[in-house]
Amino acid sequence: MASSGGGGSKRVVICGGGVIGAATAFYLAKLGLSATVTATAAAAAPAGGGAPGARLGAPLPAWLDGRGVLASSALGSTASTAQVHPARLTAALMAAAERQAGAALLLGTVVGVRRDDGSGAVRGVRVRRWGQEGEEGEEEELAADAVVLAMGPWTGAARAWLPGAPATAGQKYHSVVLRPAAPVGGTCVFTSFRTADGRSVEPELYPRPDGTVYVCGEPQALPMPPEGPAAVTVERARCEALQAVAGALASGLAGAPVEAAQACYLPLCDDGLPAIGPLPGVPGAFVATGHGCWGILNAPATGRAVAEMVAGAALTLDVSAFDPARLCGR
């Protein structure tokens, strides 16, 4: 899909419907370009829990009444820090791209990229659409002059059809959304302590304006399911451990109903830095992945930079330190 504007007329396919893909579509729309965003699940299901909020400060918020707090420090205030809801941010970015430039969301699995026989430039993206019941349909090709690989930890799967693409991995995290009987306040809490069985854990608690509390932590170095995000499993024991930790920190969270229990993989590149920029040797191919736990925070800047590259516009930001070329061929 394409529309004329500041970026001219160009057919763009973004592989990945998380916050990075949605942000790229949003900034492409601002440059007059419409993108087709492919996703293996409904948009607005990113990995992160939220941008950093206020760290536990002194005095302690009244709702944090668990025993054994040895020390605390303040990260910031409402004047310098904030929290965003990842799913709502992603949905808002995608909706704005749809309104402004006619961007489209396509549910399906990307299975390949067609390149020009001579120049090697991107000419199309092969996708297997998903049916209404989640079943895979027939393969089809989307005409494309540019493709953005923003599939989070699964971006490395593109190496099957673009061998120069960077390898990616994922770190698994679990999270729960609790609904306490009464709101606990607006201070986000980052903790570090040792459990009774000797484990060191660093759970994070994010009270939200809707009265819920998002709790995450318990990282695991586990292989990712090759089928993609839809195949990620949720371990009940991990979620119950997060519930117990939250209840130990705050009596108001003890026994609070669980509205959601979930798991995801944070995307990582080999050197721990994101990969943002053109894919060497493949004109029209771009990469945007590897942000780890900072994907929500850095999505707008990443989306803007990649959109400007795709459109051939002057770059607002210097992202040369994240050039994918440093990772290609590994």
- What are φ and ψ of residue 303, in 5° steps? -60, -40
In order, the DSSP letters of 256-318 are PPEEEEEEEEEEEETTSS-EEEEPTT-TTEEEEE--GGGHHHHHHHHHHHHHHHHHTPPPSS-
Compute the Cα dihedral for 151, 204, 301, 327 and give only its sign.
negative
Kindly state the DSSP code that residue 209 receives in the 8-state scheme.
Answer: T
- pLDDT of res. 195: 72
Across 192-214, b (16+ Cβ under 10 Å) vs e yields ebeeeeeeeeebbbbbbeeebbb
- pLDDT of res. 2: 38
Q: How far is CA 235 from CA 105, 114, 176, 205, 249, in A?
A: 30, 38, 11, 19, 22
Bridge pairing between strands 189-190 and 200-201: unpaired
Q: Which residues contact 36 (CB under 8 A, 6 or more apart)?
A: 1, 12, 13, 14, 103, 104, 105, 106, 142
- pLDDT of res. 51: 39
Kindly state the DSSP code that residue 22 receives in the 8-state scheme.
Answer: H
- pLDDT of res. 204: 92
Exposure of 222 in the CB half-sphere (CA atoms within 13 A): 16
Residue 204 pairs in a beta bridge with: 190, 216
Q: Count CB atoms within 10 A of the CB of residue 79.
A: 6
Q: How far is CA 320 from CA 103, 158, 306, 309, in A?
A: 28, 22, 12, 12
- pLDDT of res. 192: 83
- pLDDT of res. 133: 67
The Cα–Cα gap between 300 and 27 comes to 8
CB 180 within 8 A of CB 211: yes
- pLDDT of res. 313: 97
- pLDDT of res. 55: 38
Bridge pairing between strands 12-15 and 35-39: parallel
Residue 189 pairs in a beta bridge with: 205
The low-confidence residues of the chain, meaning pLDDT below 50, are 1-7, 44-57
